[in-house]
A and B are shown apart, each in its own frame.
Chain A
Amino acid sequence: MPLTPVLSAHWDEADSYTLDGYRRHGGYDALALAFAKQPDDVIQLVKDSGLRGRGGAGFPTGMKWGFVPQGDGKPHYLVVNADESEPGACKDVPLMLANPHSLVEGVVIASYAIRANHAFIYIRGEVPHAIRRVATAVREAYAAGLLGQNIQGSGFDLEVTVHAGAGAYICGEETALLDSLEGFRGQPRLKPPFPAVAGLYASPTVVNNVETIASVPSIVTNGAEWYTSYGSEKSPGVKLFAVSGHVERPGIFEAPMGTTMRELLEWAGGMRKGHRLKFWVPGGSSVPLLTEEHLDVPYTYEDIAAAGSMLGTGTPMVFDETTSVTRVVTRWLEFYKHESCGKCTPCREGTYWLVDLLRRLEGGVGSDDDITRINEVSAQIAGRSFCALGDAAATPFPGAMKYFADEIALGTHTPASDLYDPVAATVLAGVNA
């Protein structure tokens, strides 16, 4: 399959992030097209395009917009989830750096569709460069009359607020994000009510991922049929695939859904020289890992699920044979333990326990009981935690056991560092100290 740059088409231009740079290639032309339609027709268009949420869960975007009750007399809000924090996920931040105006234009169209007059872009606090880019883009858009009162004479008003998070993975969970945005401590809320009914300030709210919203202008410009001409029936469209890890040329590749990991690896220049693939994860640390045998699985929600994993954020992490799978899983769990918000028992205590057990295995002092226990504790978390963070923490180990049980069992007598030199897995490999 060929690369199909849409969002990333002009990232190589020096001023791709400016209003002028964006407009040079038809930026903001979709606005007029959207304003010419009734809001409900815009929702229908997005429904017809089959666009699914790019934040990881893959919920149909048009359907989400359609849940917002109209004529209810309450303010509506659009909230863009730009809290990209998933280990391995690195697509929203580059997008906001290189093409923030596609996001802003998408925000205007989405707000128009759901009849929101105030939108918020909640950006992860650790990426000030991205926050500055988006804030500048919003400022430019205001100055050009693309935001504010009566945008382009349409009669539609929209205020956009760029908000910086304070560094918590949990705030990528949409209801925790809303709490954080309201000034509270970020912890997930009880659902129902769902945000579409009572979200930000208890008003109907749509929370969408950056890439999802940024995809909307191209759909409005080119039509639903254009979008569905890419990908599969259940997973239409194009997507930013961010390949990281032990490859020659890590980076972002925009390609149709259905592209295979083998193709992505090729574009990324293959594995780093002299090494071969050991395992890869399709979409962030929260999905089970896959191996070489899955390189030809089409990157669609359904095919990856059939292979026993999840598409997630669509940002594959690639690991070669220098990698200790035990060490990787331990690091991931340390991440989840650190980021668990503490609200619910299974996630708070389960991640604490898992890290304790995994460190034993990594240190070569584990036991067979520990391995059994890690599987059991993972199962005790899965499906019982308050939000998906717990489910995510329960995923890595059972996924790794499926393919690397023998290696993991070595942790009962040999430290991972004896088996896999930590330096060998880094860019420092081969560099004399």
Chain B
Amino acid sequence: MKTYAAACVTAAAGTGAFLESALEGFRLKFYASAGAFLKSSPRGLIIIDAALPDMSGRDLVAVLRGDKKTAGLLLVLTGAGPYSPAAAALSLENGADEYFAFPPDARLFRARLLNLLARRGPGARAAEKPAEYSIGALKISPEARTASVGAARVRLTALEFDLLLYFLKNQGRVVSRTVLLERVWRQGLEAGPRAVDKRIEALRSRLGKFGSKIRTVFGIGYIFKL
């Protein structure tokens, strides 16, 4: 049998013990923090705990996926249980190849990692973007620039679509009005914070029951949370 190697970035003793047992026969190398891991030369399969002492695993995945030197790594994110479909979807949308709530079933965990290695091989990952974001009945296609709730198409202006996409890519994170003006409006800050509020109101109303998922935070920003 081929011997595989994996880097495991976790500070949790329980996770380490699980990985050693479930991945018996693998060459495992452990790093207790993102900082220690980044001093190495990352290659192949990387298993990342969502809660690292110095960084969130989700941020580390985004950083690795965003750099051309590390974009081809196989990235597996592990979160504290119980399993949440929203956390799993978000992890995959943010660039992880697999997501597991800990502790997963050891046999299933091993089988899925072996499949991943066999299909893609370390370093063979193409930079893929999800063809469609799906949150319950809400579906968004970045390619076709369409959104729908159930069978009904949601009619959005180009700006509203960009706003919705930005929220989806940053689920669970506080997004300030300034950042929305910079990243979504693009022409800069001239539009002003009131323009953001008005457009968010319009987007909420067009999204029907999903509109309430865009919540106001402390009166200065927004968060898209399921």
A binds B: no
B-to-A contact residues, CB < 8 Å: none
